[in-house]
Amino acid sequence: MKKRVGRNLVVIGVLGVWMLLFHNIDLASAKDPDYPTKPINFFISFGAGGVTDISARAFLEAAAKHIEQPFVPINKPGGGGVIAATAVMNSQPDGYTLGTITTSNGIAAPCSGAAPYQDLGGFTLIMNYGNYIYPIMVKSDAPWKTWKEFIEWARKNPRAAKIGITGGKAVTNQGFVLSQVEFTCIPFKSSSECFSATLGGHVTVYCGAFDMTSAAYIKEGKLRILAYWGTEKAPGFENIPSTQELYGFSSPNIIGIFGPKGLPDYVLRRLDDVFAKAVKDPNFINVMNSMYSPVVYMNRNQIKKYVEETLPEVCRVFGILRAEEAKEKK
């Protein structure tokens, strides 16, 4: 009997040692796994050729220098970036699906009532790497030389102004509401599409991001900037007024990266390190400079704070716009 009890104690002791060893191995792998072990899919929220697409690809190329696996850029335009955001939100929180968070899908969309998410609780905000410049442009042969002249014409011709946008309808709406103008909003999947439509005369006004192509056409005298949404201005055209100067209204402004809710700490720590290095990459900075897009770095805490402080005002504007639309329908 004593021998049997002794053997049982030995077996229990051996099992206990093995369980402790396996437990410690699991803890070690949870703290420091070999992430990533496969390519990382990255959804770009707008179409090819625009500022969001070009900046994201340049940033991912810079980031790939500091990580063992490649990033796979996938353009997933539509809904002002909401389609890409929804794909990110519904993905597994394992660090292998990320995407671009922008002013449109990260700040305007949650307030719109049209997106499948009413807040950013389904996401993990990771970082911000840049800002947009938002010019309001028309063809150089347009009859309006200034923003004031355009607004006076638009007030006399309700909804005749066709406004081409690539996202952030709330921003555009607020600017024109402040100007007391009724207009027709026409959305596009990328700034390059919106830009082509403006040059072709299919829209009256371009309200997308400033890039190297639009800069070239402005210098050639084919496009004219009437104003800017927000405070950021293109170099050489700082004398043109902004909505901040005209109405005290500044557009929110982010180009960054988010993932689904629940990303593990080891994934976030790895990405923090990689992205902090990528934002300093000379080639990435040159690409951003060529598009006149400022490099603006915000870490996880900073971008979270920025969005939390910005969302209430944007949602307030949406509430005003919905109330006005309801009055018009009565």
Query: Are residues 145 and 282 in contact, defined by beta-carbon separation less than 8 angstroms?
Result: no
User: CA–CA separation, 240 vs 295, rounded Å?
Assistant: 22
User: CA–CA separation, 188 vs 61, rounded Å?
Assistant: 26
What are the tens digits of pLDDT across the range 59-82?
Answer: 999 999 999 999 999 999 988 899
What's the distance, CA 116 to chain centroid? Answer: 17
Query: Are residues 258 and 126 in contact, defined by beta-carbon separation less than 8 angstroms?
Result: yes
Assess whether 125 and 142 both reside in one domain: no
Cβ count near 116 (within 10 Å): 13
Query: Are residues 167 and 103 in contact, defined by beta-carbon separation less than 8 angstroms?
Result: yes
Residue 51 lies in a domain: yes
pTM: 0.79
Q: Which domain holds residue 164?
A: 138-225
Assess whether 142 and 201 both reside in one domain: yes
What is the reported pLDDT for 52? 93
Residue 238 lies in a domain: no
Residue 244 lies in a domain: no
Query: Are residues 241 and 147 in contact, defined by beta-carbon separation less than 8 angstroms?
Result: yes
What are the tens digits of pLDDT across the range 222-233?
Answer: 999 999 987 888
Q: Low-confidence residues of the chain, pLDDT below 50?
A: 2-6, 8-30, 169-171
User: CA–CA separation, 247 vs 243, rounded Å?
Assistant: 5
Q: How distant, in Å, are the alpha carbons of 4, 82, 106 from that of 40? A: 55, 20, 21
User: CA–CA separation, 138 vs 140, rounded Å?
Assistant: 6
**Domain count across the chain:** 2
User: CA–CA separation, 211 vs 28, rounded Å?
Assistant: 46
Assess whether 266 and 186 both reside in one domain: no
Residue 233 lies in a domain: no
Assess whether 289 and 265 both reside in one domain: yes
- CATH assignment at residue 274: 3.40.190.150
What's the distance, CA 295 to chain centroid? Answer: 14
Assess whether 146 and 103 both reside in one domain: no
Residue 208 lies in a domain: yes
Assess whether 166 and 101 both reside in one domain: no
